[in-house]
């Protein structure tokens, strides 16, 4: 038995990695509610909320944009991802392997792993800002791209190193700890909002006796709109909407969460994602934004987005612990997943070593504040990279059979590289990136929508050519 | 034992949230809010770990 087969059997034995999830392993609706609420209330929410304020967003644009964008994200989970997941009951990776072949999935894993590393780096950055509150070393500013002090580098190295070691040794333990921390963390985020709101009322002398009064305060003092901070793109209603919709694009439209919803009894369980969207991507973003807006209100020149000091000012040590735990518990699975993606490329390597090396890469990435400070851009790019493969999965599942073509063609033909899928992916990504360079940075948050249709069309057209040229062994 | 731990956990979460609501209403000093939140945090992690640790995790 070769290593690949051995690895496949081991995986199949534990998590149904290479077989449909059996009926006996299906989970109820409640499991998904808790998972989404916890997973989307992460350390990075403490960056995103303030970055909206730095982008000069207005109150109406933020609130309505988040309501609409998050609803679109939930609908994407419900109607794009979950229906395929509950019919095929396969992980995204195995699903892709059947469609694209092993070589292309390897390339996909590499792209996914690299993006996960950078994302984990941003989470390490968030946690390290809490260390700065204790040790008072200079921390990076909003427009810093490189590490700006030895203290910062050491803090990130220590925090990132610890996270990497723990992820390598005891991923499951941290995952359990994350489950315990999730309800507490959500309520600390809520407290951030309450405390920040009162601080605004006291600082401005505003009369807030009704919802109307609170709205007036939000419009006049918290999200005033106007010009963004230097180096930031101005965010409008549409930016907020598309950001909220696409910030988890890799998971819903990109189909990563096939791996989650394959355990769901019904496809409507996709609605469980609304807990994550309206707790993490609505309440938590708004709360974090209020804290940053208050900092700007006190000193307009203090534009630094540093979750540690922001949380400490609002809720003291509990807030600081929240920043560390939020960063840690979300960086942990991210590093672990990146490690798994890389391990799939080099199956003979030990998971421990790969996770450790992945953690080291994430730690180095975390030293560069550019990723965290440009998180709005990075998250859009992350979705853009993985979105075309989601379109390929969608078209292969629903449309390809209706065109008289065959689904899962790599498996059927025995080829390890379906270039129809590969070209659809690469050409779409290149086209989106080119469009952003030509049109301007503001379009980064929008191009993935037409990009999905480009990928879908390309895959349909190229599949016809590919399946005519490359025949399955029995049809040859 | 488990129901008692669950009730204590719920109490910790309430103690975590209520002070910030009082602060918003202008009925508590921020320093006091911070101390109560820290205490509630400690209680939550001690008590909730006791019954949540063995729960089956969500799919991943």
The 10s digit of each residue's pLDDT in A18-39 is 889 999 989 999 889 988 888 8
- Residue A296 vs residues A99, A149, A201, B31: alpha-carbon distances, Å: 51, 24, 15, 22
Q: Is the pLDDT of residue A437 over 60?
A: yes
Q: What is the mean pLDDT of chain A?
A: 91
Q: B13 CA to chain A: closest CA distance, Å? A: 7
Q: Say if residues A60 and A237 touch (Cβ distance below 8 Å).
A: yes
Comparing A60-74, A105-119, A426-440, the range with the smallest average pLDDT is: A105-119
CA A355, CA A340: separation in Å to the nearest integer?
A: 8
Q: What is the pLDDT of residue A8?
A: 38
Tens of pLDDT, residue by residue over B12-37, are: 999 999 999 999 999 999 999 999 99
Q: What is the mean pLDDT of chain B?
A: 91
For chain B, report the end-to-end CA distance as a whole number of angstroms: 30
Residue A2: CB atoms within 10 A of its CB come to 9
Kindly state the average pLDDT of the residues A192-199: 97
Contact B24 A318 (CB under 8 A): no
Which among A85, A187, A269 is the top mutation candidate for probing chain B, defined by the most B β-carbons within 10 Å of its own β-carbon? A187
d(C-alpha A160, C-alpha A163), whole Å: 5
**Across the interface, do A316 and B34 touch by the CB < 8 Å criterion?**
yes
Burial class (CB in 10 A: 0-12, 13-18, 19+), A348: exposed
What average pLDDT score do residues A294-322 get? 96
Mean pLDDT calculated for residue range A209-223: 93
- Average pLDDT on A444-467 reads 97
Among the residue ranges A95-99, A118-122, A246-250, A341-345, the one predicted with the least confidence is: A341-345
Helices (H), A101-220: 102-135, 150-204, 211-217
> What is the residue range of B14's domain?
9-49
Quick check: is B31 in a domain?
yes
The closest alpha carbon to A54, from A390, A285, A361, belongs to: A285
Instruction: Supply the pLDDT for residue A5.
Output: 37
**Which chain A residue has the Cα nearest residue B56?**
A176
Band the pLDDT of B56: cuts 50, 70, 90. Answer: low
Interchain CB distance below 8 Å, A181 and B45: yes
CATH class of A29-376: mainly alpha
Dihedral (CA of A245, A251, A255, A257) sign: negative
Least CB–CB distance from B13: residue in A179, A184, A318: A184
Instruction: Please indicate, yes or no, if residue B23 is contained in any of the structural domains.
Output: yes
Q: What residues contact A88, with CB distance under 8 A and at least 6 apart?
A: A20, A95, A258, A262, A397
pLDDT at position A64 is: 98
For residue B25, the model assigns a pLDDT of: 94
Predicted ipTM > 0.90: yes
Q: How far apart are CA A91 and CA A262, in angstroms?
A: 7
Tell me what pLDDT residue A239 has.
97
Q: Which residues pair with A27 in a beta bridge?
A: A264
Cβ neighbours of A201 in B, within 8 Å: 26
Q: What is the pLDDT of residues A242-272, one digit of tens each?
A: 999 999 999 999 999 998 899 999 999 999 9
Name the more confident of A13 and A383: A383
Q: What is the pLDDT, as a whole number, of residue A62?
A: 98
Q: Is the predicted pLDDT of residue A3 greater than 60, yes or no?
A: no
Flag if A195 and B16 touch (Cβ within 8 Å).
no
Looking at residue A18, its pLDDT comes to 82
Q: Quick check: A2 pLDDT over 70?
A: no
Q: Do A195 and B23 touch (CB under 8 A)?
A: yes
Decide if A333 and B55 are in contact by the 8 Å CB cutoff. Answer: no
Phi, psi torsion values for A346, nearest 5 degrees: -120, 80
Which residues of chain A make contact with B44, given a CB cutoff of 8 A? 184
CA B44 to centroid of chain Cα atoms: 5
How does residue A473 score in pLDDT terms, banded at 50, 70 and 90? confident
Domain boundaries, chain A: 29-376
The answer for residues whose C-beta is within 8 angstroms of residue A189's C-beta and 6 or more apart is A41, A45, A283, A284, A287, A288, A322
- Closest Cα of chain A to B23: distance in Å? 7
Supply angle C-alpha A449, A453, A458, rounded to 5.
140
A395-404 confidence digits (pLDDT tens): 999 999 999 9
Q: Which residue has the tokens 């991210």?
A: A334
Q: Does B51 touch chain A (CB under 8 A)?
A: no
Report d(CA A360, CA A331) in Å as an integer. Answer: 12
B42 touches chain A (CB under 8 A): no
CA distances from A407 to A9, A207, A459, B25 (A): 24, 62, 12, 60
Query: Which residue blocks in A306-374 are alpha helix, DSSP H?
Result: 307-345, 351-367, 370-373
- The DSSP-derived string for A280-295 is IIIIIHHHHHHHHHHH
pLDDT band at A175 (very low <50, low <70, confident <90, very high): confident
pLDDT higher at A279 or A352: A279
CA pair distance A304, A301, nearest whole angstrom: 9
Report the pLDDT averaged over residues A165-182.
82
Q: How many domains does chain B contain in total?
A: 1
Structure confidence at residue A23 (pLDDT): 92
Query: Where does the pLDDT of residue B55 fall: very low under 50, low under 70, confident under 90, or very high at 90 and above?
Result: low
Residues of A with CB under 8 A from a CB of B: 27, 31-32, 34-35, 38, 175-176, 179-181, 183-184, 187-188, 190-191, 194-195, 197-198, 201, 259-260, 262-263, 315-319, 321, 333
Interchain CB distance below 8 Å, B53 and A180: yes
């Amino acid at each position: 038995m070769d290593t690949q087969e051995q690895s496949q059997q081991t995986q199949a034995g534990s998590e149904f990695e290479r077989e449909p999830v059996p009926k006996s392993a299906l989970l109820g609706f409640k499991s998904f509610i808790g998972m989404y609420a916890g997973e989307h209330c992460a350390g990075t929410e403490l960056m995103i909320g303030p970055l909206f304020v730095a982008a000069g967003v207005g109150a109406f644009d933020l609130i309505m944009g988040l309501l609409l964008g998050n609803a679109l994200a939930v609908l994407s989970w419900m109607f794009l991802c979950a229906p395929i997941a509950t019919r095929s009951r396969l992980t995204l990776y195995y699903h892709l392997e059947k469609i694209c072949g092993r070589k292309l999935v390897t390339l996909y894993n590499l792209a996914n792993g690299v993006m996960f590393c950078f994302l984990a780096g941003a989470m390490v950055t968030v946690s390290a800002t809490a260390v700065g509150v204790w040790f008072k070393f200079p921390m990076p500013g909003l427009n810093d791209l490189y590490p700006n002090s030895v203290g910062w580098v050491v803090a990130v190295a220590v925090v990132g190193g610890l996270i990497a070691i723990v992820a390598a040794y005891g991923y499951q333990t941290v995952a359990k700890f994350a489950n315990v921390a999730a309800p507490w963390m959500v309520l600390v985020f809520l407290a951030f909002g309450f405390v920040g709101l009162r601080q605004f009322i006291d600082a401005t002398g505003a009369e807030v006796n009704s919802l109307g009064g609170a709205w007036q305060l939000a419009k006049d003092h918290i999200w005033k709109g106007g010009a963004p901070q230097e180096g930031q793109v101005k965010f409008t209603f549409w930016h907020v909407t598309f950001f909220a919709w696409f910030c988890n694009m890799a998971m819903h439209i990109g189909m990563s969460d096939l791996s989650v919803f394959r355990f769901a009894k019904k496809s409507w369980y996709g609605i469980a994602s609304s807990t994550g969207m309206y707790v993490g991507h609505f309440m938590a973003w708004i709360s974090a934004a209020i804290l940053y807006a208050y900092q700007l209100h006190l000193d307009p020149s203090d534009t630094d987005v540093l979750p540690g000091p922001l949380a400490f000012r609002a809720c003291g040590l509990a807030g600081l612990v929240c920043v560390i735990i939020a960063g840690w518990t979300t960086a942990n699975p991210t590093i672990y997943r990146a490690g798994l993606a890389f391990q799939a490329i080099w199956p003979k390597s030990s998971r421990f070593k790969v996770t450790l090396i992945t953690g080291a890469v994430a730690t180095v990435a975390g030293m560069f504040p550019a990723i965290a400070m440009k998180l709005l851009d990075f998250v859009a790019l992350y979705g853009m990279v993985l979105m075309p493969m989601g379109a390929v999965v969608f078209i292969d599942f629903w449309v390809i059979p209706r065109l008289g073509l065959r689904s899962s063609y790599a498996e059927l033909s025995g080829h390890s590289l379906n270039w129809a899928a590969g070209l659809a992916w690469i050409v779409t990504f290149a086209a989106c990136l080119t469009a952003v360079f030509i049109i301007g940075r503001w379009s980064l948050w929008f191009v993935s929508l037409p990009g999905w249709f480009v990928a879908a069309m390309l895959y349909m057209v190229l599949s016809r050519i590919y399946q005519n040229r490359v025949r399955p062994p029995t049809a040859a | 034992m488990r129901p008692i731990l669950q009730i204590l956990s719920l109490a910790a979460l309430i103690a975590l949230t209520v002070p910030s609501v009082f602060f918003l209403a202008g009925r508590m000093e921020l320093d006091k809010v911070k101390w109560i939140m820290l205490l509630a945090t400690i209680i939550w992690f001690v008590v909730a770990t006791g019954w949540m640790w063995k729960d089956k995790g969500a799919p991943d």
